[in-house]
Amino acid sequence: MEQTWRWFGPGDRVTLRDAKEAGAEGIVTALHEVPAGEAWPVELIRKRKAEIEAAGLRWSVVESLDVTERIKMRAPGWQRDTENFKTSLLNLAACGIRTVAYNWMPLFSWTRTHLHAPVPGGGFTLRFDALAFAAFDLYLLKRNGAEQEWGEAASQQAQAYFQAMTPHERDELLETILCGLPGGNGRYTLQGVRDLVEQYNGLDASSFREHAGEFLRSVCPVAEELGMRLGVHPDDPPRPLLGLPRIVSTAEDLDWLMAQSALTANGITFCTGALGVRADNDLAAMVHRFLPRIAFFHLRSTQRENTLVKAGSQPLESFFEAAHLEGDADLIGILLEVVKQEQCGECAKLPFRSDHGQELLNDCERAAAPGYPAVGRLRGLAELRGAIRMAERITAKVEHDEAI
């Protein structure tokens, strides 16, 4: 597996030198300065690639090439945005970059309610508290229909939670959800969120799937001809939020998306942390099943906490970002499966990154992007590197013993 590191460009406080010293071979990045929906110019791609190569690294994966809200909801301008997406693929391929991650989450991409939650063993981590999110939805956003959707029991719990919060805690929750986490769709205002939710009004999961299918059937032939692989990122968290559909949360969802185009270009960014939030997602079985379609791995682990049950018995789990080899995701078992398939030639050498990381040691002093501290990710990459070496040894020994 190829060890990679996410870097947010020249303004990132965690530098390319840090990535190199952490042991990364490749960089995962994007032209974050280009507005969503615009085509990426070849000149900017070449400039960013040259900067990465000057540090002794390679640009392995684009994360992310934005799929705009206009495309997702089929709003005016979506055809232009789709053509610009294809143009960006052409320009990236011309520069030798052939793995592209994207997401199909409406409005918010990945969402958290706390950016600096203490970890029992020391350090800080990201956390999603379902009750805090309900309080945001009901009493800060005040979304139309939210109380009916959450139901009486959950709404009462959220009300008690909200009333117990200090003004500072309410401001912090609002800022955390609206700030736009790294690699997401940008910063929002409360009114901006209300407006977008209203624009999505009436778009159910079935229609949202239709839009995704049409997008894939349009862009995948272009990517295939260019020798590229696209990887859809799972919903994070993998449940509907704000009454909006999410269609990349389960094995059944991935099955449906992969069926929209049988081309190799139609692939998955397999995020063990996002998918692992749901107890009904069997990660090992999903890796075994979808490995031929996986273009890129996000390796991290989340720890489920309590579950808030909404109206209609729709759960929403609370969770935090655990250390990479802890939590609910069995990353060692997953890595054994991937290494076994790599060594027997069933899949190519796949890029992975130690996704997210807890804030450890002097991480707090560097004020890196939330979820992307230097020391926490270095620890994660080192742990994963050790697990991969172990998996390689075990696989080689099994093959040797079977050959005798």
What is the per-residue pLDDT across 8-47, written as a single tens digit (0 to 9) for each? 999 999 999 999 999 999 999 999 999 999 999 999 999 9
Cα-to-chain-centroid distance, residue 266: 17
pLDDT at 286: 97
Q: Is 272 inside a domain boundary?
A: yes
Asked if 68 contacts 184 with a C-beta cutoff of 8 angstroms, the reply is no
Tell me how far apart the alpha carbons of residues 111 and 35 are, in angstroms, rounded to a whole number.
21
What is the per-residue pLDDT across 174-192, written as a single tens digit (0 to 9) for each? 999 998 677 666 688 999 9
Phi, psi of 165 (to 5 degrees): -80, 145
DSSP letter at 241 equals B
Asked if 394 contacts 336 with a C-beta cutoff of 8 angstroms, the reply is yes
Q: Is 131 inside a domain boundary?
A: no
For the chain, what is the domain count?
1
Which residues are identified as catalytic?
A: 233, 271, 298, 355-356, 372
Bridge partners of residue 117, in order along the sequence: 125
DSSP for 273-292? HHHHTSTT--HHHHHHHHGG
Q: Which of 346, 318, 275 is nearest to 126 (CA)?
A: 318
Q: Is 115 inside a domain boundary?
A: no
Q: Is 173 inside a domain boundary?
A: no
Tell me how far apart the alpha carbons of residues 295 and 70 are, in angstroms, rounded to a whole number.
25
Q: Is 130 inside a domain boundary?
A: no
Q: Tell me which residues of the chain have a pLDDT lower than 50.
A: none
HSE, side-chain direction, 13 A CA sphere, residue 360? 14
DSSP for 290-317? HGGGEEEEEE-EEEEEEEEE-GGG-EEE
Alpha carbon separation from 183 to 139, 329, 356 (Å, rounded): 27, 23, 12
The set of residues, in sequence order, having a beta carbon less than 8 Å from that of 290 and lying 6+ positions away, is 251, 254, 258, 268, 270
Q: Kindly state the tokens that stand for 117.
A: 């939650």
In this structure, what CATH number is given to the domain that contains residue 299? 3.20.20.150
Tell me how far apart the alpha carbons of residues 404 and 284 are, in angstroms, rounded to a whole number.
29
Phi, psi of 27 (to 5 degrees): -115, 140
Task: Name the residue range of residue 259's domain.
Answer: 2-110+206-305+325-403
Q: Is 180 inside a domain boundary?
A: no
Q: Is 285 inside a domain boundary?
A: yes
Mapping DSSP onto H, E and C, the string for 143-180 reads: CCCHHHHHCHHHHHHHHHHHHHCCHHHHHHHHHHHHCC
Q: Is 375 inside a domain boundary?
A: yes
Tell me how far apart the alpha carbons of residues 270 and 299 are, in angstroms, rounded to a whole number.
8
